[in-house]
Amino acid sequence: MSTSLWQVDLAALDFETTGLSTERGDRAIEVAVVRGRQGSVPQRWSALLDPGRPVDATEIHGITDEMVRGQPTFAERAPTLSRMLRGAVLVAHNAPFDLNFLEMEYGRAGLWAPEVPVLDTLGLSRRVLALPSHRLASICEHLGIDRGQAHRALDDAQATWDMAWQLLDRADPERRLTIADAERLCRRPNHEELRVVTNALLDAARRAQPITIDYRRADAQATRRSITVRKVIGSRVEAFCHLRGEDRVFRMDRISLV
C-alpha cells in the first residue's frame, strides 16, 4: 500500500487469555484497542469477556473466574472490536500471538476478522533498538514509557501504541514510510528463512568467497552489497563490506539473499 503511514491511525491490540494455546482450547478473557495518529489523544476501549471455561492464568494477569463470569462473550463484543480496527493499521507486540486469538475468536463467532495491515512491534524493535531483550517491559523501560498495570489489556495496548510511534519516529524521522514499507520493516523472518540465510553465509565463509546480499537498514530501505563473511555468531554476521570498504557487523534478520 502506497499510503503514507503518517496519514493513518495505528490501532494497538492486546488480548489477555486463559492460556497460550488456541489449539488447546484457550480463550480470550480481555481485549483492548488504543487507536489514533501520532500526537493525538487516542481512542481507548477495553472489555472483559466470558470465555465459557476456567481462567488458568490468573497468576499472570490477575483476572479471575469471578471477574469474567457473566461478562459478554467475544461474539457480543465483536462488532465494537471490528469498528475499532476497521480502516486502521493494527499494531501488536509479538503480533502472531494476538492475531491467532483474534482469528480464532472471530471464527468461533462465525464471523470474519477485519482485514487490516499489521505491524509487529517486536520485529520493529529488533530492527531499531540494540537491546539484550525486546520484551515489552524492557522496551518500555528503555524508552521511558509508563506501562501501567502489566498484563492488563488496556495498559499493554496503550504501551504498545506509545512504543510503536516512538520506534517509527526513530526509523523514519523524515516520515517517508508507506504502510507497505512499515510492514516490511516490522516483518520477522521465519525459522526456515533464517536457516537458509545462515547456511548460505556459513558456506560463503568456508569458501572464503564474497556473497551478494540485500541489507535492509533501520528505515526499511535496502542496499545491495557484496560481503566477505568472517564469522557468523548467533544473529550477527561479521564481514568485510565491499560497498563500504570496511569490516562491518550485520544483523541476520536484515539480510536477504540475492
Lowest mean pLDDT among 127-131, 223-227, 243-247: 127-131
Considering the domain architecture, whether residues 105 and 228 belong to the same structural domain is answered as no
Q: Indicate which CATH number applies to the domain containing 208.
A: 2.30.30
Q: Is the pTM of this model over 0.75?
A: yes
For 162-210, the DSSP string reads: HHHHHHHHHH-TT---BHHHHHHHHPPPPHHHHHHHHHHHHHHHHHT--
Q: Is the pLDDT at 254 greater than 90, yes or no?
A: no
pLDDT-derived band at 227 (thresholds 50, 70, 90) equals very high
Continuous H helices in the chain: 58-61, 65-68, 74-85, 95-108, 121-128, 136-143, 153-171, 179-186, 191-207
Last residue of a domain, one of 127, 154, 186: 186
The answer on pLDDT for 228 being more than 90 is yes
Confidence (pLDDT) at 95: 94
Residue 219 has pLDDT above 70, yes or no: no
Backbone region of residue 175 per phi and psi (left: phi > 0; alpha: psi in -120 to 50; beta: other values): left
User: Which of 147, 159, 162, 158 minimizes the C-alpha distance to 39?
Assistant: 162
Show which of 151, 169, 186 is a domain's final residue.
Answer: 186
3-class DSSP state of 5: helix
Question: What does the pLDDT read at residue 258?
Answer: 85
- Structure confidence at residue 222 (pLDDT): 78
**Position 218 pLDDT exceeds 80:** no
CATH number at residue 121: 3.30.420.10
Q: Which domain holds residue 230?
A: 191-257
Identify any residues that bridge with 233 across adjacent strands, giving them in sequence order: 236
Task: Give the residue numbers marked as catalytic.
Answer: 151
Percent of the chain whose pLDDT exceeds 70: 98
Q: Which pLDDT score is estimated for 9?
A: 97
Residue 179 sits in the same domain as residue 209: no
Q: Say if residue 80 is in the same domain as residue 177.
A: yes
Least confident range of 37-41, 81-85, 147-151, 221-225: 221-225
The larger pLDDT score, comparing residue 256 to residue 66, is at: 66
